[in-house]
Amino acid sequence: MTRNTPTVAEPPPAPTTQPDSTPTPARTTYRHGDLRRALLDAGIDLARAGGPEAIVLREATRRAGVVPNAAYRHFANRQDLLEAVRAAALSQLAMEMEAAMEAERATVSPEDEQVDAADAADAATRARAMLRAVGRGYLRYAQRETGLFRTAFSVREQARQVEEEADPAKAGNSGLNPFQLLSAALDGLVTAGLLSSGRRRGAEYLAWAAVHGLAMLALDGPLHGRPAEEIDALSQRLLEMVEQGL
């Protein structure tokens, strides 16, 4: 008797492995020098949103997309990053002051400036306008970039020192920092015959105290929350008082 042997079905062929068409995410890498800039930018963003207290080195590394230990090649600790952000804030403040000065200069055409170059009255008018522009830019930055403005004056040891030395990290496009821009504007008053050399001495601190005081009253004092139009009007009056008082 013949026994039928069951037929064993062959397993289906294994599917051909297709190459994964999903692109591999590009790995973020930093060339030499790029990481420091990325960390600084992250620190600036943190300060802009929350002032100096918001600057945390670990959070800056997270935003830069690197492990925390990578930051120590560029910033030894949080204080190092804070001081770098402070320098950047001073630089931005200087550029805001320069922008206000440039806008003031634009009101005088080159032709008029050449014709009236020897006119003492016009020179005095321009000198006064530059001093007011310096103060206007300072107050404007305090209102627009409150977090960075606070950071600019947050490092106690540094804030006690007048920034008289040239430092590109703290300077605007002219190469001058905010204190130097104020000093140059006051020197312009002397050149125009509006301020004697005797009264020029120490005038930076008087003008700075008045303008910075108003800025802080608007940020943390009784002027906080007042309409922008009111702050602008008070700013204009203050700048006129400073100019006349000198």
pLDDT recorded at residue 202: 95
pLDDT recorded at residue 121: 80
Distances (CA, A) of 67 to 28, 50, 241: 12, 23, 52
- Residue 30 banded pLDDT, cuts 50, 70, 90: low
pLDDT recorded at residue 162: 66
pLDDT recorded at residue 33: 58
- For residues 80 and 158, give the distance between their C-alpha atoms in angstroms, rounded to a whole number: 12
What percent of the chain clears pLDDT 90, i.e. is strictly above it?
Answer: 74
SS3 119: coil
More confident residue, 12 or 146: 146
Compute CA 9 distance to the chain's CA centroid, rounded to the nearest angstrom. 76
Whole-model pTM over 0.75: yes
pLDDT recorded at residue 213: 98
The fold for domain 86-245 equals Tetracycline Repressor; domain 2 (1.10.357)
More confident residue, 142 or 1: 142
pLDDT at 227 over 80: yes
Compute CA 233 distance to the chain's CA centroid, rounded to the nearest angstrom. 24
C-alpha R_g of the chain? 30
pLDDT recorded at residue 13: 55
pLDDT at 5 over 90: no
pLDDT recorded at residue 228: 94
- Residue 25 banded pLDDT, cuts 50, 70, 90: very low
Mean pLDDT of the chain: 86
DSSP assignment string, 94-107: HHHHHHHHHHHHTT
Mean pLDDT of 113-117: 51
Name the residue ranges covered by the structural domains of the chain.
86-245
